[in-house]
Structure 1
Amino acid sequence: MLAEETKKKHTSEDLFEWRKRVVTNGVGVFNPSTAVTASGAIITNADGKELIDFGGGIGVLNSGHCPEPVVKAIQEQAEKLIHTCFNVATYDVYMELADELISILPHGDHTKVMLTTSGAESVENAIKIARQATGRPGIICFSDAFHGRTMMAMSLTSKPSYKTGCGPFAPEIYRFRFPNHFRYGRGLSYDDFVAREIKLLRESIVATMDPSDCAAIIVEPVLGEGGFVPMPPAYMNELRAICDEFGILLILDEVQSGFGRTGEWAAFHHYDVVPDLTTWAKSMGGGMPIGCVIGKAEIMDAAAPGTIGGTYPGNPVCAAAAVANIRHMKDIDINALGRKVGDISRSRFEALREKCPEIGEVRGLGAMIAFPLVKNNDPFQPDSKLCSDLVNACAKRGLILLSAGTHKNVIRILSPLVITDDQLDQGIAIIEEELLRLTGRA
């Protein structure tokens, strides 16, 4: 049976039947598509059909599928050294990557890096570093957050459907409301809403915990799975002020928002703050499984030897891919591409919103663009069915699209930033046509 499956040419239907037979149901299906080869923003599926990719492997492929410099770096490194474990034998490409990261993402005067294999692992280690640096246990996080599926990361995550039956979760986690004006600000101007949320945050912190027991505040500058809601600048400034006032560390989770997605290397570059620690992965490696924690050197060095790390973090092949990817992103000016894709997408979706009141708002930073689908223009009536129907309808038309949001009612755009103007136009046109059809306006 094994030999037969590996030798035969599979259709998409074959692959899903095979998957159902041998892969656990807990590994969800977010889109009914298959993949055999890919380049740029195009995936060729098992039936030979070309698909426009607006999912980008969930934000992993800002520089596109199989960028040539990354493929070459993987091949060359694999011929020399595949693995030793960095704790066992030190190799240069680890530090080479650290230097590249520090050059574009400095955290004050002296910055240090640890490499990981995923975003969740980055978050786990950032929390361990923060607790060791402060000697405190408490962690503040926010509603609608997503930080990963390992135990601490899942404890920090807010999406119930990802946590069902997995508890009990880690203690000393304190969750406050993320300042989402669309959902919670009805009747208030944006500025008045933010002022109210800042006041509520300060009151909630002192009412819930002793701030002197808090190690860190962790937050996504732009919510990822939570629906691409950017944090208001004044609120971000207040977080920094609270951290400075009480000796709390500010951790920004940039796993989905980093490496050009918002039109900057980091989403926090849109804000007037310097975080103490940041977490990264996804588009860092050009498709390879690698991430990192970056932070101020004195904080990073507070971790005792052996308390962070693992067998695979900083794997030579993955590190070489990431070095090549970052240099490639510099060469093609990935941040300018993020701004361009974002401007085009926002303009088109704002125009679509005029025709479809089911679109509650168009939001995001740069090319990290999304829109929630709601009933009766009410943010508390999420239309998850319409969202699911739209994803499936677009898949049938050859467009890979992903949903997001705590209530699974948000359409998010994570196309490779190297997507051509024509591909972007075609993909958005499919969304426009299918949403108009599904809402009876075609």
Structure 2
Amino acid sequence: MSTVPREKKPRFTLRPEVLLNSLRLRRSVLDTYGQKNLYKFIIGFNLFLISIGSLFYTNDLVSKLEEREIRQMKLYAEGLRYALTSDFNEDLTGIMQIIREANSFYEIPAIYVDDNNMPADKINISFPENASPETKERILNEQLSQMKKEHEPIPVEMGEGRVGYIYYSNSFLLTQLRYYPYIQLSGIFIIGFLAYLSFSAARRAEQNRVWVGLAKETAHQLGTPLSSLMAWIEYFRADPDFDPSIADELEKDVQRLEMITTRFSNIGSVPTLKDEDVAAIITEFITYLRKRVSTKVHFFIDNQLPEGHKVLLNRNLFEWVIENVCKNAVDAMAGVGEIRISLVPKQQGEIVIDISDTGKGISKANLQKVFNPGFSTKKRGWGLGLTLAKRIIENYHAGKLFVKSSEPGKGTTFRIIMQSTPAPPK
């Protein structure tokens, strides 16, 4: 092999600041979401304490007011008993008026029923203006029926075995207090919900800033070593003893890295979407990926899409989605197993892409977390691959990405739903 002076060789070194910046970015991502979850818990716990405290305090007020109203009705019963059993030969109309006015202060509706089971007195019962006697009697009986359901009557002993009863309802104030906690809790929950929406909006904005910062920094850090790698490839090609096919494969990988750099550079900006043959893109990418994963991983593609069907997408970003899902599947299978990709047309102009593996599956506890930023079952994983894939499909392509099914020990199927573009009629 020919040699060149050492000082003329392309140099490629991993700068310590590159690794340090990556570690700082990863820590920033994980710390951000950890703090957000803590804030969410603190807000929820405070709302819970306020709700419980409000319920206990209001219930205590209701109990005290209810006891006061019972005492007031007993005083009313005692006043009636005195008036009805008095030995004085005098007109007791004034006394009864004083009793009724005293009870009117508390606005407690009450009806006194004599020993003949006939309404003989009432307080705080309202009638419509210009109501006829028949209407008043009907309203009085309806009120009496309702009062009998609400409280036990208070007896009025009139002597000689004669007993009347006072039936009553809760005052308007007590009724308000009974419903107040529910109204208050509704208000708290509405405020909490609005706070959650505000929190979520702020969180999404912060997520976007983290994504964009992470992507731009990654693209910047990849720029220098890529230039150096291209120089190394040209250096190897200049050597007649070097196998050119190896240089060709290296160049493919460098081109792949350049495409990844472009992907990261475009994060945060609106991608350009074009009508693309999605089956051809997936087939081409899987052909590339086969040579770069374990030979014990077998890929199968089942394309049921009619010829000519296309999808409006950004090729670079869509390939990134397929790459992240497939590499996640390879990791789940520990480098041994099968990955099956099926493309099926659906109604309403949609296509379904299912990516199934024969890996270890996802536990129920982790099923809702797989798309969360920072979540990873790998010790050295960032936990961003599936999160990025979901954001690309849903935010940039107006599609859906979710776990269709998963069974521990048997495998997982991820489903992508996108809008297809039918071929024009011939």
Normalising by structure 1, report the TM-score: 0.20
* Larger gyration radius, structure 1 or structure 2: 2
Tell which has more relative contact order, 1 or 2 (C-alpha 8 A, sep 6+).
1
